Amino acid sequence: MYFFSNSELPKVIGQIEFDETFDTETASIIIESRDMTEYETDLYQIWESALFTAINDTLIEIYSNTSLNYIPIIRNNERKVFIVTGSTLNGYIFLGNDYGLEFNDINKMISKKKIHNNLIPIRFLTDTGEYLEDPSSLHNHSSKTGDYITSTDICTLLLNKDFTKWKMHHVLTPEYLNFFNLESKTISFFPRDAYDKMNKNEDKKD
């Protein structure tokens, strides 16, 4: 994680480095002012372009009780910025209202898309600040979003798992029921038609 100065020619003024656990207790903090490397300049430029797009493009929606978070990634000759929605409302996380922007090798945007078509609020605390009993959560995908849990879903869930206390998240799609285990970080799938038949049989028993 980098911190930049707010100037015409920005400099790196600090950074936080995490290990694979992303535990803040083991993170190292470096406070220094220096010129950006070429890689950091590229990250800054695509982040800045995404920020400009969010402010000026009607594709990007901003809802009350939310904030937009920008995740620039350069890997395997691909340059992308994911925009995900964070909650400013206590006791909720938000999935959806997320976007993927792609850039060419000179950091010019070449495509943009909405990943989910809506905003999905999921509650994990009661009004009195107690955790809801269910240790898992669920949301639905339409055919436009696709049959699999998205990378932005995974990112948001992992970033918030210690706050929500969820152990499992389910995504119900037209073809599958996705199981995302937040502790082992593994994903498995169950056919939707089999899931629907099982629920019908349970309803008959009731």
Residue spans per domain, the chain: 1-36, 37-205
Please give the torsion angle defined by the CA atoms of residues 20, 24, 26 and 27, in that order, rounded to the nearest 10 degrees.
Answer: 80
pTM for this model (two decimals): 0.85
- Residue-wise pLDDT tens digits, 28-75: 888 888 898 999 999 999 999 999 999 999 999 999 999 999 999 999
Return the structure tokens found at 92: 């909720």
Instruction: Name residue, tokens 């009195």.
Output: 128
Average pLDDT score over residue span 76-94: 95
Q: Other C-beta atoms within 10 Å of 57: how many?
A: 13
